[in-house]
Amino acid sequence: MGEPLTHGPVRIVLDTDLGMGAPGSDIDDGFALALALAEPGVVVEVVTTVGGNSDVETSTRLTRDLLAVLGRTDVPVVTGAPAVDDAAEEIVRRVRAEPGELTIVAIGPLTNLARALALDPEVARDVREVVVMGGVFLGQTNVAAMPGEYNFWCDPAAAQAVLDSGAPLRLVGLDVTRQVRLTRADADALAGAGEFGRVAAAATHGWIDFQERVKPHEEIEQGSCALHDPLAVAVVTRPDLVTWKPAHVAVETQGRVTRGVAVADLLMWADPPTPNCLIATDVDADAFRAVFLGRIAGLP
């Protein structure tokens, strides 16, 4: 494992399909935004929105609503794909203006980032790093209707474009993020920790209820929910929370039964392909929970 970063705050662009606040929508992206704002080692420069968990206009509205709850209406929000290219243009403008300074944390479908790279391929050179919650590498979804992890499944061509770009990439996949959980007891504890805690607690119970209804035979989803996106935010400053391996990853964009499936070559055979990313292969779930719950409990 790596070591925690000790230099100044990491400035990020958070690209998200935020759904917290919409009935029946996933909540981990809302927790990811909250964690990014609560983490003293991170500065959120801008939030860009993308369609995924909900349509992009709804994600934009919910993002602004959540920023108001968090007392951070100063953080700009820019709407993106599929409605407009505003987010892609914002990514290009900011990254190219300050080479090596900005990290993109992409926790939704990669459409905005792929469009930004299409507008200006030099974004791949000038970005400090791209951290992605996406893919599943040492496992499968085991769901025929969605064989690829959701973010890759939504726009597999965008995921492949990002992998082909040459940008410095770290990918945190579903096989690792499913190991970090938020329980009903955690939600009850958060309910007493300020306005965001109350909102988040209600949303957490609602999401766990939804998961239990639609996934009654998936044992891991009973009584808790995964913190996929917050883990991607956490590793920006705490790469030591997970184990990393270099890999060459490609995404199936055309498969009849394998849409969005990520194939990770772990460079084990002779003459391996050139690695194009680092992938997370394990996580210290207890250490992550301590960081996450501590930061979230401190929010107003």
Using the predicted structure, report yes or no on whether residue 31 has a pLDDT greater than 80.
yes
The mean pLDDT value for 152-168 works out to 98
Helix crossing, 111-119 with 86-97: angle to 10°?
Answer: 60
Q: Rounded to whole angstroms, how far apart are CA atoms 246 and 257?
A: 27
**Model confidence at 5: pLDDT above 80:** no
200-243 residue pLDDT tens: 999 999 999 999 999 999 999 999 999 999 999 999 999 999 99
CA distance 176 to 226: 10
Mean pLDDT of 177-205: 93
Mean pLDDT, rounded, for 47-66: 96
- The per-residue pLDDT for 298 is 87
Question: End-to-end distance of the chain based on CA atoms, in angstroms?
Answer: 33
The band of 266, judged by pLDDT with boundaries at 50, 70 and 90, is very high
- The residues near 200 (Cβ < 8 Å, ≥ 6 apart) are 20, 27, 30, 31, 34, 187, 190, 296
Report the CATH number of the 10-297 domain: 3.90.245.10
Cα-Cα-Cα-Cα dihedral sign, residues 225, 229, 230, 236: positive
Task: Give the domain ranges of the chain.
Answer: 10-297
Q: Is the pLDDT of residue 4 over 50?
A: no
Average pLDDT of the residues in 124-152? 97
Once rounded to an integer, what is the mean pLDDT over residues 153-168?
Answer: 98
The stretches of the chain forming alpha helices (DSSP H) are 28-38, 56-69, 86-97, 111-119, 123-126, 150-154, 156-164, 174-177, 184-190, 195-214, 228-237, 285-297
- Looking at residue 2, its pLDDT comes to 36
Tell me how far apart the 2 most distant CA atoms of the chain are, in Å. Answer: 56
**DSSP string of 247-263, one letter each residue:** EEEEE-SS-SS-TT-EE
Residue 3 has pLDDT above 70, yes or no: no
Q: How many residues does the chain have?
A: 300
